[in-house]
Amino acid sequence: MNFYPKTNVTGGSVKYFIFIVIFLLLFSINAYAKDYVIGDGDSIKISVWGNPELSLDTRVRPDGKIAIPSVGEIKASGLTPMELTKVLEKEMTRVVKTPIVTVIVTDITNYRIFVFGKGAPAGMKTLSRETTLLEFLSQLGSLEKSRSGKRISRKRQEEDKERVLSII
């Protein structure tokens, strides 16, 4: 006696199964996406519940710090909003018994790309989100035909060194 039902695997059900697996993989990748990291020039809103005198809107200075009344200067660049919240709550315990702090990034200027050369108009481009190289190049429009024989490279500052990757 066979307790397992007979299954008829057709092309349609296999395609459906593959679609579900791909969908779940993509969903799980997005679920673990990294948090935004605050950078120089970003605007942030800091709210301290019950203490409006400590709440403020500020911009991260080029040295990566922000100044908060009664607390002093705090390094904000390189931290996620949640990490900055924890640092501020710890620092504000000198002024407030149990501070409840919220940090909201209101303006992003951390995603900057500098473009120069014959292939595209020179200048700094500020992006509103993480963007792939292909997405960015498509936003630039068509590259000049005179670019033939030249190269395109990407430079990225990593830790203490600069990394150059030749694209074309």
Residue-level pLDDT at 30: 45
Which residue, 49, 124, 114, 110, is CA-closest to 80? 110
Q: What is the pTM of this model?
A: 0.59
Q: Which of 22-31, 109-118, 147-156 has the lowest mean pLDDT?
A: 22-31
Superfamily of domain 43-107: wza like domain (3.30.1950.10)
User: Tens digits of per-residue pLDDT, 12-49?
Assistant: 555 655 656 565 555 544 444 468 889 889 999 999 99
Residue-level pLDDT at 139: 73
Q: Where are the domains of the chain?
A: 43-107, 112-166
Confidence of residue 147 (pLDDT cuts 50, 70, 90): very low
For 92-114, what is the mean pLDDT? 86
